[in-house]
Structures are given as C-alpha cells and as structure tokens.
Amino acid sequence: MTKYIGKSMSRVDGVAKVTGKAKYAAEYSAPDLAYGYVVCSTIAKGKITRINTDEVLQIPGVIQLFTHENRPRLACFDLNYKDQDAPPGSPFRPLRDEKVVYNGQPIALVVAETFEVARYAASLVKVEYEQEDHDTALEHNLHRGRGPKSGVASLLKSPPPKPRGDFEKAFQAAPFKTTGQHIHSVEHHNPIEMFSSTVVYEKNGKLTIYDKTQGAPNSQMYVAQVFNLPFKDVRVISPYVGGAFGSGLRPQYQLFLAVLAALELKRSVRVSLTRQQMFTFGHRPATVQNLSLGATADGTLDAIRHDAIAETSRFEDYFEIVVNWSGMLYPAENTKSTYDLVPLDVFTPLDMRAPGGVTGVPALEMEIDELAHKIGMDPVEFRLKNYTEKDMDQDLPFSSKELRECFRQGAERFGWSGRKPEPRSMRRGHTLIGWGMATGIWEASQGPARAEAVLTVNGKLRVTSATADIGTGTYTIMTQIAADTLGMPIEDVIFRLGDSDMPLAPIEGGSWTAATVGTAVKVACEDLGKKLFKMAQKMKNSPFADVKQDDITFADAHIRLKSDPSVAVSLLDIVGTNGGRAVSETSTSLPSMLEQRKYARAAHSAVFVEVEVDEDFGTVRVTRAVTAVAGGRILNPKTARSQIVGGMVWGISKALEEESVMDHQFGRFMNHNLSEYHVAVHADIRELDVIFVEENDTIVNPLGVKGLGEIGIVGMPAAVANAIFHATGKRVRSLPITLDKLL
C-alpha cells in the first residue's frame, strides 16, 4: 500500500519559491557579467539597408553592437537549428541576413556593462529599411489554404482522419442539422517570468547557461548544434521556471543572442526580453473552423464535418490537432474533416496549453450544444445518447473511460437538474442567468525518459532527471513516487531536475511528464531497490540470504519480509557495506508500445458553468463552475486540483478576454502588454469546483496516471459560450465573447 502517492501534499519547492530562495534564469550572477538588449524590427517584411553602429558604439559602457553584418559564421544547415519541438520547414535564424520576415524580428543586440546602458543604447539604434508588401490577415486569405508540408516532426502529430461513410448524403438527409463558422483569435502565453538567458563563460571556454526553458537538454542540443560546440562543453541549467505554458518548448531567440555574444566577447552575458518582446515570437495561431453536424429524428448524431484553416509563418509549417477530436468523442458514421494552413508574414506559432485541443474541442462542443437545442434534448442527455467507448477514427477501444461518471457526478454537484431548458428563461432581477456544459478530452501520452536514483551514505535518497517544472508540481509528485517506491520517509527524499548534465528527459509539455518521467523515476528506484536487496543478501548473517525479491517489501527505510515485517534490514546499514560510497542506479523507461497500441488513451472531463449576463450592457460574469475529471490515478489531489483550476481560469479567460490584436497595416500586435492584453484576474473568478472521478487504468503506463495540465482548459470555453447562449439566446462563435458581440 502506498504511503504518499494519492495523498494531498504541499509542494516541496513551495518554501523556496515564496521566500525567494528559488532562482530564475535572470537572477544568476557571474564575474564580469555583461548585459544584452535586443533591438527589434519595426516593419513586417523587407530588408535592412543600413544600421547606424558608430553613434551607439561611442556611448560609454557599450561593448558591442551585433547585427547581421558582424555576426560570426555559424551552422549552415536547417537541421542544426531544429529542436525537439520544431515543425517542418526552415527554423528562424536570428541575425542571419538583412531580410526581415516579421514585425518584431530581432535585428540587433546591444551589449553593455550594465542593463540600463544597453537599454538606452538600443533606443538610439537607427535602422533604415526597404519595405515590401506584407500580409498578416488570416481571414482575408482563407482561399490560400493548403495542407501542411510533410517532415519528420509531422510524424509526432496526426493528420486529419480519413473520411467515414458519406457525409454529404447523411447531412442532406438529416432532419436536424447545424452549421457554423468558429473564429479563434491569436493568443500569447504571457507567463510571469519573461524569457532570459544568463550565459557564464568559463575559463576553459565552456558555457554554463541558465535558461528559461521547458527542456534543458533541448536548449543544450540547440546551442551545441548551432555554434558547433561539443555537447560536453555546454551545460544548461533551469531548476525553476516562472510559468511557460508551451512558450519554453522551443529555444527562444534570447538564448541564441546571449550565446553568440558570450562566445564573441569571451565573457559572461545576460540577455532578457521585455514584456513587449514576449509578443515577438510564438503564439497560439489564429484559426477559422467550419463545422456541420446532422442528427436523425431520434437524436442520433449521424454526420460530422469539421474543416479548419490556421495561420503559420512563411518559413515553417506549424500545425495542430484541431479536427480529430470528434472521432474520439462521438460515434458518427459519416464524417469528413480537413486541416489547412495559410503562410503569413508572422513568426511561427507555438504550442500553447492544449494546442489544437482548446481550439477544436470548443468549436465542436458549441455546435453539439446547438444541435441538442434544435432537437430539444438536454445537452447532457444528447451526449450520453451519442456516447462511444472507442476512438472511431482509430477503431480502438479506450484503455479506460469514465466520462459517463464525469457527466453524472458533475451534473449532480452543479445541480443541473434544476436547469430550465429554454434560453432567457432563468434570471435574477435584471440579470440573465445561463447554465452551460461541455465535454473535454486530451490524449494521455508517455514517452521515453531516464532517471537516476542514489542512496547516500547518510541514508538519503537523491533522484534526478533532466525534466522541467513549469509550476505544475513536478518536484512534488516525483518525490512522492520515489519515496513510495523505496519505502522512504518523504523528508529523506530529494528530487532534482532542470540540468542537462542529468539523465535525459524530453521537453516538458503535452501533459505527459507525470507518465513519462514518473515512470522513469519509478523504474530507477525499483532497480536501485533490486541492487540494495542483492547487497542485503550478502551481508553477514543476512535474514534474506535465501529469500526471493518477490518476498520482500520496502517500508520505513527498511527492507522487510512480507510474511513477517519484523524481519528487516535498514537501508542505511546496507549502504554502509559499500565502502563509504553511495549506491546508485540509472534507468531508462520506455512506453509499452505493443500493449498501448491496442488502445486509445485519453483523459476526459465534463464541465458545467453558470454565467450572469447584464441584459442592458452585455457584460458576462462566470459565477460558478464545476469540472469533473477522469484522469487516471491522481498522484497528489492538492497539486492536481491546482492544475485543473488553473486550466479553468484560463478557459474562462480564453472565452471572454484573451486576444492579441494585430494591426494589419503594420503587421504588428498592438496590445503587446499586460494592461491591454486582457487576462482573467481575481475579480473575474468566483466559485470553482473540481471532482476527480475514480479511474483505474493498467494500460496507459505503469503508474496509471493521465496528465492533467491540458484537460482542465479544453472544455471550459465551450461551457462558457453555451451558458451565454442559454442566458441570452445568442450563439456567439467568435472567441473571445466580448460585450459588443452580445449587445
């Protein structure tokens, strides 16, 4: 029986964060540290004809101004610039040449003795351009959509599923049908910590880099490949990350510029981005979707068509899984879907919490709600009638699926039975009340990873893996897994991460870290336990000399006989026989592909929302929400709830507020700050409730866990939009739903 897994525990890194002991990428110091400030382009397309360098270089304290004219020779091939999350195409190369390919592109780096001097000098850099016509408007270019280019990276993301049946025939014959166009605006990640890289230039020419990243090995690989450095000469450290949500999956341009400056100047350099510059790289892409649904007279969903067109850059084909979710949620016999891209003069979009899922699922769930309304069925009843136990597109059963129970428990907690079905039928005085709901789904994935477990001479367990913790609680759940596996008191266990010198782990994203790295930690501790047991068997007068591994257990920092727990040897005594040296084991975990490939694997949710809409002003307030989640085994209910609540808050923010507004005349985002890029704040959030539905899954991974980072957000925007429809009778398919769309 586990002692820590499944228990609510406060974050083991919490004290370090609230006391300021935790250090982030821009907080590490180094002797003779110089500071870099990035100069960004003010046009969207064209070429640089002149950059004045003489005036800037004469400013006291300025060390150098790097541009495309004086940068060193670097790697030539696109492959050198590709990282673990790179889509097909030619990755962006800062300072490559005089060409400008998007507004805000980094075109120069001023390096000075202080940050203030670098910032001042950067403001004096004068750039002359030869402008070309640019195009940044997706909705004006829908006719130019084409399928994503093929490439190795595209193998990681599924193409649209093949058609089933005959959609056109079924749709035309359907007595109930709905069609709608859904528009999702650009969004930017905007974590609290802005991107920064502190590159420490060592005496031997090696680099120690403190980087904001969701994968230290990914940044290490990028730097080594681009600058033609041995991997052993590049160490990337990132123990704490102040939020990322996908923005740290790819190395951002401040890393490139900081390393370039450090190598050229042979001294340590820090480059930090401003909040405005956080809008000059990846974002959630603008997407236009067209959905058509048809149902038979008895409410059977029979036909689904889902077409999506999204933006990408001119140089890379970033694409998402937008149109595949219907086949995982509904058993329609006749389906057709397409997904196209429109290259524009923008930077390549980037994975952002639930990429593709929080775009495609809300559009689908809003149309499902509309169809249920036209049929006259309760939204929950309609979903239960059209329930499936398998992924229709893959023709595979789910490894586990407790979505029915999510509907039941969520509806009961919310009080759904008290809902009056007709729009505008519920109110409090002058305020319209709406109740809406939606389904959520996110794939449960596992990848390969490595971890090391070390039992020290003083009986402490140290576990390491080069993963990241972007605020999700990775430190805590890995500590719990390690403590339970070797039966150690949790105060004697320390888990470390975020260092490229540690055992290799993939980038932290996609809700797969708990399954991927957690399994590696479990395997490493199990393998260490086997080694310790063999050592115990060789001890003088060992009670385990003739005992098999299956007959013992680890508990209370001892190896104990299952049949008689009083027969025991302490782990401290065992390591004491190792000549004053720690005992360690490094292990690799791999997904059980032969078994997993027989099943579809996903987390599911049911989201219920209440809104108040002012009848005169169109203002919307989400007054309460309930999310019921079937996410496999819950390792830590406290940190897990935080993950779901965070997703719910962001889902509300996406539904009602978040939008990066582009001025297409200049090809530049206008609201590139946190005063005008609106996000949900404390005053916007009321009562949020989370239910974890019990779900046992022996297929998905050895721990039985499903990631929770994304499942909390995917259903929320549709639930809010559906509640607004119930309150007002207006179906708004363009997010965010601002008051002008309701008046």
Place of tokens 């540290």: 33
The first and second tokens of residue 2, run together, are 């586990």
Alpha helices in 657-697 (DSSP H): none
Which helix (H) or strand (E) segment holds residue 364: the answer is helix 357-375
Question: CB of 590 within 8 A of CB of 653?
Answer: no
Nearest to 86 by CA among 136, 147, 146, 151: 151
Question: CB of 449 within 8 A of CB of 482?
Answer: no
Which helix (H) or strand (E) segment holds residue 234: the answer is strand 234-237
User: 451 pairs with which residues across the strands?
Assistant: 587
Which helix (H) or strand (E) segment holds residue 370: the answer is helix 357-375
d(CA 607, CA 595): 31
Which helix (H) or strand (E) segment holds residue 587: the answer is strand 583-589
d(CA 151, CA 384): 39
d(CA 34, CA 62): 10
CB-side exposure of 43: number of CA atoms within 13 Å? 17
Question: CB of 303 within 8 A of CB of 292?
Answer: yes
Checking phi first, is residue 531 left (phi over 0); if not, alpha (psi -120 to 50) or beta? alpha
Phi, psi of 339 (to 5 degrees): -140, 120
Q: Which whole-number Å values give the CA distances from 716 to 145, 171, 203, 610, in the listed order?
A: 29, 28, 52, 11
Checking phi first, is residue 462 left (phi over 0); if not, alpha (psi -120 to 50) or beta? beta
**Which residues are the active-site residues?**
710
Torsion sign (Cα): 464, 469, 471, 474: negative
d(CA 25, CA 17): 14
CB-side exposure of 198: number of CA atoms within 13 Å? 16
Q: How many CB atoms lie within 10 A of CB 608?
A: 29
The first and second tokens of residue 293, run together, are 């649904």
Q: Which whole-number Å values give the CA distances from 105 to 43, 100, 131, 452, in the listed order?
A: 9, 7, 14, 41
